[in-house]
Amino acid sequence: MAADKRGKDLLIGAVVGTLLGAVTALLFAPKSGRELRADISDGVHNVSEKTQQVAGTVADKSKQIAGTISDKTQLAVQTIGRQTSEWAGKAKETALSWKNGKAENLESLEAPVAATVVESEENEK
């Protein structure tokens, strides 16, 4: 923990020092005010472009991740729905057989939960 804090503090110190050094270099550089303002304007323009590029990349990645999550969720819903329908059918059949006095083997009524997990893992491959 202490090493992480020291590393973080060192990184923050390096960033702040770099920024202060850059500002100091700009202010004490032997340039006219017009040249300095032009350099600052160019720097701001470059930072703005980079920020827009990063924002676009983040938006694209977010859309890809959201699509992947949506696909996997739909697959899981379909699998669960199918399994639930099968279990409901088995339960209905068992209830009808009990109603008619024909008790069946209870071992066949176990829900294949492990099969559902294996099936969903196979679908992901």
Query: What are the pLDDT digits (tens) for 5-31?
Result: 777 788 788 888 888 888 887 777 777
- List the one residue out of 59, 27, 28 whose CA is nearest residue 40: 27
Distance linking the first and last C-alpha atoms of the chain: 39
pTM of the model: 0.43
Angle at 27 between CA 21 and CA 31, to 5 degrees: 125
Question: What is the spatial distance between Cα 65 and Cα 61, in angstroms, rounded to a whole number?
Answer: 6
List pLDDT tens digits, range 61-119: 999 999 999 999 999 999 999 999 999 988 888 888 887 776 545 445 455 554 555 45
Is there a contact between 39 and 22 (Cβ–Cβ < 8 Å)? Answer: no
Lowest mean pLDDT among 56-60, 95-99, 121-125: 121-125
Instruction: Evaluate if residue 2 carries a pLDDT over 90.
Output: no
**For residues 121 and 79, what is the distance between their CA atoms, to the nearest angstrom?**
11
Mapping DSSP to helix (H, G, I), strand (E, B) and coil, where does residue 114 land? helix
